[in-house]
Amino acid sequence: MTPSIIQFEQVGKAYPEAGRSHTVLRDVSFAIGAGEVVAILGRSGSGKTTVLNLMAGIDQPTQGRVRVAGEDLGAMSDRERTRFRLQRIGFVYQFFNLIPTLSALENVRLPLELGGASVADADRRAMAELAAVGLADRAASFPDRLSGGEQQRVAIARALVTDPPLILADEPTGNLDPEIGDQVLALLLERSRASGRSLIMVTHSRRIAAAADRVLRVEGHGVVEAQPEPA
């Protein structure tokens, strides 16, 4: 049996809103296996991003437990969760989230530097990741000199440079035209599957859902298994 990389155990999440408690998730339990590619679907406001934030330890459940790579995120301090994210989770965002004053190389090597890697080691590993996404020749370029597809490829290199077992992607092709989006999706899938990483993608895209191993749908305060529609 494949070990789980993510476990939700009777998770609930509510937020205070106008003096009342607004429930987003209620009694949610599911597991995602190591190496799985999973798409998370749901209408706007259903709680998809909340699920992703709980997986990352950015948000904490009101009740229940979230485990990632066997670790109980709720048992960690804020500093421990930050360190855990830096070492064990890579992030890819819809709007790339590159630092505009840093070059492509500097953006990719930043997680390594924050983790204490030497400058020489960080440069070597960051250049290797840029080469892997086909951007070695753009290492010195700043984000405003890169196309949207190039910026997202830099973001993928940054997500993978620390060799995390888990990649979380929030609408990774949502800010790209369909053709470039398909290229970025193919690259993200290839780079994740080649190394056996788990890839979790929050999306509205049928193409992404069709490419996943499993589809989860967030609806009615819960998370259920779903069948992907054809792309």
96 falls within a domain: yes
Q: Which DSSP string corresponds to 42-63?
A: --TTSSHHHHHHHHHTSS--SE
Q: Which band of pLDDT confidence, cut at 50, 70 and 90, is reported for residue 212? A: very high
Single pTM value for the model: 0.91
Cα–Cα distance for residue pair 203/206, rounded to 1 Å: 8
Per-residue pLDDT at 25: 94
Identify the sign of the CA torsion 181, 186, 189, 194: negative
| pLDDT digits 0-9 by tens, 133-181 | 999 999 999 999 999 999 999 999 999 999 999 999 998 888 888 888 8
Instruction: For residue 108, give every residue at least 6 positions away whose Cβ sits within 8 Å of its Cβ, in sequence order, or none.
Output: 126, 129, 130, 154, 157, 158, 161
Joined tokens for residue 112 = 């390594």
* Spatial distance between the Cα atoms of 193 and 17, rounded to a whole number of angstroms: 40
Average pLDDT over residues 76-83: 93
* Phi, psi for 34 (deg, rounded to 5): -60, 135
Q: Which two structure tokens, joined as six digits, stand for 20?
A: 């009342």
Task: For residue 192, give the CATH number of its domain.
Answer: 3.40.50.300
Distances (CA, A) of 65 to 55, 70, 117, 231: 10, 11, 32, 34
How many whole angstroms separate alpha carbon 165 and alpha carbon 68? 10
Please state the length of the chain.
Answer: 231
Residue pointed to by tokens 């819809």: 94
Domain membership flag for residue 34: no
Residue 206 lies in a domain: yes
**Count of domains forming the chain:** 1
Which structural domain range is residue 116 located in? 39-46+78-226
**Considering the domain boundaries, does residue 171 fall inside one?**
yes
How many angstroms separate the CA atoms of 177 and 179, rounded?
6
pLDDT at residue 231 above 60?
Answer: no
- Position 211 in a domain: yes
Tokens for 162? 């620390």
63 domain-assigned: no
Q: What share of the chain is helix, strand, coil (3-state, %, to 5)?
A: 40, 30, 30
- Residue range 86-97, pLDDT digits in tens: 889 999 988 889
In a domain, 161, yes or no: yes
Q: Is residue 216 part of a domain?
A: yes
Distance CA 53, CA 110 (A): 21
Give CA–CA dist 223/79, Å, rounded: 29
- For the cut 60, the answer to whether the pLDDT of residue 33 exceeds it is yes
